[in-house]
Structure 1
């Protein structure tokens, strides 16, 4: 789901930034000497933290689910604006820490003992989850976090604008650059990839035939293909056909809805709002092949529920997570499909999701199944920042891609050594 419409920041990088800084540093010091104990299921009041989703009805839905829970009083902190991550991680250091919170898989949260092992509640239904979601939340065979929604991200385009400009749907990054130039007119830019471009860093890596890390946790992004992709991104950035400085970032559909661009990188969550504004004048395509060794890619974002292992109601919090995100399939389906479109991580729910079975949503699901890439739990904020620096150096400035990638690889290797030895 999208972030609150009144903030202008990269959901993924900022949230994970907080996770990285907090879990790697100060949170690690918040150990068992906090005087609060842990694991008691006697607490009958639980607090959960959510960031403010942009879709109407989401806050009411989460509170409705909580109110229906018979075993505890569950209150929701619905945090608006761009301060969710700072409030969450500052509060985790205090006696007022939430019992459970939504976030993304981050290995530092596991290594610092901040999040509880949820294997016992997930194992009985593990086979009903998308197995890539299970893998992205697993460390040493234990599962930390229940996936609530999967959020594929790809390009949306105005069919009428492409037809008028006699432009075919781009199959390669070169074709996207050419298309953006032809689609740029007086008031309309050819494409919008977000204000800071951070949303397309991993897709560029994957579409260039590389990956963030190898299966045995070594850097995998420093390749000739990625260097080639960066050179092309620089060409697009300087072409004059890219929308820069839009009123809202990539996660908000207003740029394409208001006719500011012909093609926009965004998430499946925005499909209903786009369809309401533009009707059937919409198509989707993955991040296109960026180098000879590559193939198209789709980044799967999304949100997961975690239990604060250092809280005073660990067992009670786990029980609530089990009730809502494992047992209450009706609520899980409502959350995924009634407030924007998201793919339910439970295969049984996804299979019966009629809203995703035809038209544009079905095309999005197909792209997700065919080209989807999931978060790597070992890809930390320091690593994310390293690749953001590569984009800043090579795409925004005119830095040498290979030199920038070499620098990033050194940073990532040092982080991996700290994490995995």
Structure 2
């Protein structure tokens, strides 16, 4: 994101042209038309000011500069609202106070159901044609669908991957693990002399989730019923406990510093977002060679969705149509390809993969291609009102088994299941 100026100028130019010509072709939402009372759309000379709440500290400046250059009648005022959790809290406070922006950037697990149920958020699908919706990778849509509607369009999307110290593996004559068992065995051989075999990034529930899926389980069943204490979830928590206390492949209570350990060459395998690739490469420099691989398989191989999306709040037809023009631009194939090239995020549009510059980028550094190739295993459980409780509960569950080798994973997750069920009884 912050390396926009280093991205191909031709991509920017193409995106600007797309913005001038409308960028999407979708129509204003039915909800927006109703809210506007039949008010006409903005004319080419009518100035519209939009408020955008973002989780990006640079306020998406370079993107917005290019958008403004192509849309002189639309002024976007961006405001940084903190991280995903802070954004969710401020949006919910804005719903109560009646002070919301026109466009919002929301984390994929951060209160989208609650925001949708408020009646203030417009389904993003109401702005889009069938062709536009079909151009978004289906797996990403799954994560932004609630009560049968697509509420937010994926923007900066990612999947977790397995980073590894390629230099370390080659030195020890080891192959890249493909399965969970292979990973544990390789980790045992590499956990020595102050070096650890395996760890996960601080957003630990994001890696717990696919470990459950890959054992054949679900945290949320298809009918929306929580299932955080199912046998596959229990097996997953127990496997983490064993990594720390039995095989001693995973360091105790060092999840928060796992990134630093990997960069320092003290960690062989790290599960972390594919969007971190550019940053990790810069931090590691020439200390060792980084490798990227799929998440390890258990019985199956599935990967979850991360990142964020863009939503539009109800206002009037004038502002809603301008909002969609902005959102359509930010999620265009050119912009999402440029964003991917600068970071490691996955372009959400299928058309982006056909851009010559993007193809050349992947050929130059195949590591960036791993997360994209892994999308064949993309899976998204629908967003759920209890997402935040489940997330924090899994963090605590992992901390519990890290600290207590005798903790009962079943009892730990039974407690979390009870908390989730109780919350859903009171949710309105």
Matched, 1:304 2:309: yes
User: Structure 2 vs 1, CA of residues 247 and 200 (structure 1 numbering), >3 Å: closer, same or farther?
Assistant: closer
Distance 2:371 2:217 in 1: 23
Distance 1:222 1:86, change over 3 A: closer
RMSD between aligned residues:
3.4
Q: Does 1:46 align with 2:50?
A: yes
> 1:155: which partner in 2?
162
2:120 equivalent among 95, 114, 118? 114
Q: Is the 8 A contact 1:61 1:335 kept in 2?
A: no
Rounded to whole Å, the distance in 1 between the matches of 2:59 and 2:269 is: 27
Q: Judge conservation of contact 2:197–2:268 (CA < 8 Å) in 1.
A: yes
State the Cα deviation string for residues 75-110 of structure 1 (Å, max 9, x = none): 111345785444454445445432221113521211
Shift of 1:155: 1.1
Distance 1:269 1:254, change over 3 A: farther
C-alpha separation in 2, matches of 1:327 and 1:275: 29
Where do residues 10-409 of structure 1 align in structure 2 (5 Å cutoff)? 39=36, 44-52=48-56, 59-68=60-69, 69-79=71-81, 83-94=86-97, 96-105=99-108, 106-124=112-130, 125-195=132-202, 197-238=204-245, 240-243=248-251, 254-276=260-282, 277-278=284-285, 281-290=289-298, 294-309=299-314, 313-326=315-328, 329=332, 331-333=334-336, 335-352=338-355, 353-354=358-359, 355-356=361-362, 359-369=366-376, 371-378=377-384, 380-397=387-404, 398-409=406-417
Distance verdict in 2 for CA 1:70–1:392, change over 3 Å: same
Please give the alpha-carbon distance, in whole angstroms, between the structure 2 residues aligned to 1:107 and 1:405. Answer: 24
Quick one: structure 1 residues 257 and 394, their matched pair in 2 at CA, closer, same or farther if it must change by over 3 Å? closer
Runs of 5+ consecutive residues of structure 1 not aligned to the other structure: 3-36
CA contact (8 A) 2:215 2:232 kept: yes
TM-score, with length taken from structure 2 = 0.75
1:193/1:278 Cα in 2 relative to 1: closer, same or farther (>3 Å)?
same
**Contact 1:154–1:287 (Cα < 8 Å) also in 2:** yes
Deviations 1:260-297 (A, max 9, x none): 3222221111222334445792322333234xxx3233
Whether the aligned pair in 2 keeps the contact of 1:288 and 1:295 (CA below 8 Å) is no
Shift of 1:115: 1.5
Partner Cα distance (1:375, 1:62) in 2: 30
User: Contact 2:143–2:305 (CA<8 Å) still a contact in 1?
Assistant: no
Q: Secondary structure at the match of 2:375?
A: helix
Contact 2:162–2:271 under 8 Å retained in 1: yes
Question: Alpha-carbon deviation of 1:48?
Answer: 0.8
Report the Cα distance in structure 2 between the residues aligned to 1:210 and 1:95, rounded to whole angstroms. Answer: 41
Q: Which consecutive residues of structure 2, in runs of 5 or more, have no partner in the other structure? A: 3-33
Count of residues in Structure 1 that have an aligned counterpart in Structure 2: 374
Look up the SS of the partner of 1:167 in the other structure.
coil
**Equivalent residues of 1:325, 1:332 under 8 A apart:** no
Q: Secondary structure at the match of 1:298?
A: coil
Structure number, greater radius of gyration: 2
Q: 1:406 to 1:79 in 2, by over 3 A?
A: closer
| CA deviation after TM superposition for structure 1 residue 305, in Å | 0.5
* CA distances 1:346-372 after superposition (whole Å, capped 9, x unpaired): 111233332245611222211222x22
TM-score, structure 1 normalization = 0.76
* Pairwise CA distance, 1:151: 0.5
What's the CA shift for 1:373? 2.4
Q: What is the rounded CA distance, in whole Å, between the counterparts of 1:85 and 1:342 in structure 2? A: 22
